[in-house]
A and B are shown apart, each in its own frame.
Chain A
Amino acid sequence: MSIIRIVGISLFICILANCGSQSAGSPLATPRPSATVQTTNTDATNTPIVAADATNQPTVVANTPDSLASGLTPEGYHVLGDMAAPITFVDYSDYF
């Protein structure tokens, strides 16, 4: 009887240990919520003036005085007009 009891206890312990390892590290573990994607740039000389949208898509707003679309390029530069326009006019300019 004692041998059967020992085998039974060992089997019970073995089952418990197996269940523990599965819940700790297997893909069945509950996934974490999706982390917020952030655009980071470690190159100090390449820092955009305004943080680009995390999805790398232009942020479009329509609040200019004449209601033209405006927003930011993925690089963080201000842009006026249709983001899909075939011609891109870049203005390097200064005030005064």
Chain B
Amino acid sequence: MLEVEPKLIDAYVRTGKMRIIVRPLFQTGEDALLAAHASECAGEQQHYFAMRTAIYADQGGLYAAESMTAGLAQRARDIGINGDEFDRCMQSDKYRLPLLTEYTRAKDAGIVSRPVFEINGQRIIGARQFTEFTDIIDHLKP
């Protein structure tokens, strides 16, 4: 989605035809959970999508970093988030349980792999090219 999502945003979200809802799904362990937690903490300061974009843009750097927590804190500051508030949120660990619960809910709904997409309820399993999404979305348009 790193390359496809910006195209979808330009073509459909920016034009008011589509909205994107994010539902986190964890299969890659603690680092992914930390990243999702960081996104939620960024969301408290209305920067959820900015943080999400920042994490996706530098997945390799974050994953290779000595400390994932420190790396996420730096990315948060880089995009203008209040660092102290962000750090307090991360230390609270308050989103861990809800995020893990969300994973359980997704599994219960039959979402067992990633990525999975739903376009107006039509489920698509696995990564797709931009044109594959447009074929589906354009067919849905009135």
Contacts and interface: CB of A to CB of B under 8 A. Distances in A.
Considering residues A50, A68, A91, which has the most beta carbons from chain B within 10 angstroms of its beta carbon?
A: A91
A37 interface: no
A90 B137 contact: no
Contacts of A45: 101, 104-105, 108
Interface residues of B, number: 60
Main secondary structure on A side of the interface with B: loop
B117 A50 contact: no
A83 B19 contact: yes
B21 A73 contact: yes
Interface string B21-46: 11111111001100110011001001
Contact of A87 (B28, B105, B119): B119
Contacts of B25: 92-94
- Range of interface residues on chain A? 20 to 34
Interface of B: 1, 5, 8-9, 12-14, 16-28, 31-32, 35-36, 39-40, 43, 46-50, 53, 55-56, 59, 62-63, 79, 95, 98-99, 101-102, 104-106, 108, 111, 114-120, 137, 140-142
14 contacts: A45-B108, A49-B98, A68-B13, A68-B49, A78-B21, A78-B39, A81-B18, A85-B18, A88-B118, A90-B23, A91-B5, A92-B25, A94-B25, A94-B27
